[in-house]
Amino acid sequence: MNLVHCNSSVQEERRSSLAVIMASISEWYAGKNVLITGATGFMGKVLMEKLLRSCPDVKALYILVRPKAGQSMSERVQDMMMCKLFDRVREDNPDFHQKIIPISSELTQPGLAISPEDVQTLTSCINIVFHCAATIRFDEPLKHALQLNVIATQQLLSLAQQMQHLQAFIHISTAYANCNRRHIDEVIYPPPVEPKKLIDSLEWMDDSIICDITPRLIGDRPNTYTYTKALAECVVQQESGKLNIAIIRPSIVGASWQEPFPGWIDNFNGPSGIFIAAGKGILRTMRASNDAVADLIPVDVVINLTLAAGWYTAVHRPKTALVYNCTTGGINPFHWGEIEHHVMSTFKRNPLEQAFRRPNANITSNYLINQYWILVSHKFPALIYDLFLRLSGQKPQMMRIFNRLHKAIGLLAYFSSQDWEWNSDNMNMLMSQLSADDRRTFNFDVRQLNWPEYIENYCIGTKKYVLNEDMSDIPAARQHLRKLRNIRYTFNTVLLVFIWRVFIARSQMARNIWYFVVSLCFKFLSYFRASSTLTQ
């Protein structure tokens, strides 16, 4: 009798674990408590939106938020939920905010500054963690980047170790964590330095000493961001213990492709600021290679893959942490030269308001040519415009804007001037594990991505959601571009005449050429006049 009971309970257990494996992704998230760091950021918001919309039975989203810029934690969360990004979720479930539980936390503080009561709540209920928070600035001082990207990850892992019902911990890294290599596999590479040793050393060091040794430490990586993200991956590996871990490595995350609507973007990071600067006619030249692969990845693709990886990690519990390179270059490549073409074409058809000049940006891999165009197309017009502002009693501003732009493009050029090759076997493996329905709901198949259409929606997204410009103002923006074109023609003509006048006054040869050209013009004019009189 006992044996029969035992057999049936084993069968019952097998059946339920089979049911878990067979469950769709949204069924798996049903009833789950999810912890998200970086929820107020670009990717965090899209992650929350997708979870609430496509996994409507998820129990609760616990989000770690800090007060910022004079706003309390709750004010920030309320503002965030009003955001247009959540329109579709709001339509489906006007009470969606009840599922969002903000937890006050400052990730750079000991214990992540989470209160003991909140620690108690989190450790007793969380089923899955998505760690998105990071500083993504390329010029972040090393100590701060280490504090947030490495030490906070370490502390979060130690909190995760105490969670009684945790089934998966998903860490968001970057495809450029190992950008000092040309070919990047889905493995965690040995760290440039033992993270614990570095943390201990920087603890006692003066900021100025750290600043001095930073270039030596980061070595062949371009900035503290990629360096600390590489260290964070190593910390995840070292401190994971018995947790089921996965690491997602997106490349350059851009506007949404399809969800919740095409073109969603809310920041100036990565290429977005460059597109805007080009659309405003400010950026005319940038160092980038026309033929290098532009490894952009839409944010909704990254989030769909992240949620699917969360499900897979919890259900299949791979023996070692799986790394997912989430990139497009090896599957559906597109190049910076093509991006330039489509960005320019979109902004000519859908101009931004109050452009400084007509959009006309060119990329070049040649240092000297780039420097020449910076002088002629950036600095010279900025000087003239600032002079005009000064003369009209206003504060000069253009040179300041260009200095900031030059700093930004200087930091980004590393990524747009060379190629990398990422292995994406795990992304393909994950896709093969999804049911047909899940593949549609959590689509991360970038083979279907139509680049020209995506780039057009991306540019229009920057106009609508970053700059908050109205599409109905496009006729006025086109009119403004026509005005700029006329100003340019007039300016060029005046400049040409001025230069010739200067030459003519000083050089006999210039005078001779000038008289020759003018007399030629007169001859042509009189010929046309004569021939038109004859035909009458």
Ligand X SMILES: NC(=O)C1=CN([C@@H]2O[C@H](COP(=O)(O)OP(=O)(O)OC[C@H]3O[C@@H](n4cnc5c(N)ncnc54)[C@H](OP(=O)(O)O)[C@@H]3O)[C@@H](O)[C@H]2O)C=CC1
Ligand Y SMILES: CCCCCCCCCCCCCCCCCC(=O)SCCNC(=O)CCNC(=O)[C@H](O)C(C)(C)COP(=O)(O)OP(=O)(O)OC[C@H]1O[C@@H](n2cnc3c(N)ncnc32)[C@H](O)[C@@H]1OP(=O)(O)O
Task: Please report whether residue 250 would count as binding ligand X according to CB under 6 A.
Answer: yes
Find which of ligand X, ligand Y, none residue 402 binds, CB within 5 to 8 Å per kind. none
Which is nearer to ligand Y, 241 or 410 (by Cβ)? 410
Regarding 408 and contact with ligand Y (CB under 6 A), the answer is yes
Residue in the structure block whose two tokens are 């990207």 = 149
Residue 273 binding: pick among ligand Y, ligand X, none (C-beta 5-8 Å cut-off by kind): ligand Y
Sorted by sequence, the CB contacts under 8 Å of residue 94 that are 6+ apart come out as none
Helix axes of 398-416 and 380-391: crossing angle, nearest 10 degrees: 160
User: Among residues 465, 431, 448, which one has the least CA distance to residue 262?
Assistant: 465
Candidates 122, 168, 170, 252; binder of ligand X (CB under 6 A) is 252
| 8 A C-beta contact, residue 222 and residue 162 | no
Cβ at position 66, least distance to ligand X in Å:
5
Task: Quote the least distance from Cβ 255 to ligand X, whole Å.
Answer: 11
Phi, psi of 235 (to 5 degrees): -60, -40
Query: CA–CA separation, 99 vs 184, rounded Å?
Result: 39
List CB contacts of 347: < 8 A, sequence separation 6 or more.
275, 278, 279, 359, 459
Please state, in angstroms and rounded to a whole number, the distance separating the CA atoms of residues 314 and 458: 34
Beta-bridge partners for 245: 169
CB of 231 to ligand X, least distance (A): 13
Name the closest residue to ligand Y (Cβ): 273
Residues 124-183 that bind ligand Y (CB under 6 A): 136-139, 174, 176
Which of ligand Y, ligand X, none interacts with 439 (beta carbon under 5 to 8 A by kind)?
none
Q: Is 218 in the site for ligand Y (CB under 6 A)?
A: no
Residue 298 binds ligand Y, judged by CB under 6 A: no
CB burial of residue 180 (10 Å; 0-12, 13-18, 19+): middle
Report the residue from 327, 416, 426, 457 that binds ligand Y according to the rule CB under 6 A: 416
Residue 107 contact partner, candidates ligand X, ligand Y, none, CB within 5 to 8 A by sort of partner: ligand X
Residue 67 Cβ, how far from ligand X at the closest point, in Å? 8
Instruction: Point out the residue whose Cβ comes nearest to ligand X.
Output: 41
Residues from 442 through 471 that contact ligand Y (CB under 6 A)? none
- Preceding peptide of 192 cis, ω within 30°: no
Take residue 75 and report the two structure tokens written for it: 């004010």
Tell which residue, 331, 313, 325, has the closest CA to residue 188: 325
Three-point CA angle 427, 431, 432, nearest 5°? 120
Give least dist CB 361 to ligand Y, A.
Answer: 4
Q: How far apart are the first and last CA of the chain?
A: 119
Question: Any bridge partners for residue 184, and if so which?
Answer: 422
Q: With contacts defined by CB under 6 A, name the span among 210-218, 250-258, 418-426, 461-469 that binds ligand X.
A: 250-258
Selected range binding ligand Y among 195-203, 392-400, 403-411, 511-519, rule: CB under 6 A: 403-411
Q: Give residues 183-212 in contact with ligand X (rule: CB under 6 A).
A: none
- Using CB under 6 A, pick the residue from 34, 41, 157, 283 that binds ligand X: 41
How many residues bind to ligand X according to rule CB under 6 A?
27
Q: Residue 183 to residues 179, 423, 468: CA-CA distances in angstroms?
A: 9, 8, 39
Residue 170's binding partner out of ligand X, ligand Y, none, with CB under 5 to 8 Å set by partner kind: none
For the segment 240-279, give every residue that binds ligand Y (CB under 6 A): 252, 268-271, 273-274, 276-278
Residue 111 contacts ligand X per CB under 6 A: no
The interface partner of residue 274, options being ligand X, ligand Y, none and the CB cut-off 5 to 8 Å by kind, is ligand Y
Tell me the C-alpha distance between 529 and 536, whole Å. 11
d(CA 361, CA 339): 11
Q: Which residue pairs, CB below 8 angstroms and at least 24 apart, start in 16-21?
A: 20/315, 21/315, 21/316
Could you tell me which stretch among 8-16, 208-216, 238-246, 406-414 binds ligand Y (CB under 6 A)? 406-414
Nearer to ligand X, 55 or 136 (CB): 136
Would you tell me which residues interact with ligand X (CB under 6 A)? 38-44, 66, 68, 105-108, 132-136, 148, 172, 174, 229, 250, 252-253, 269-270
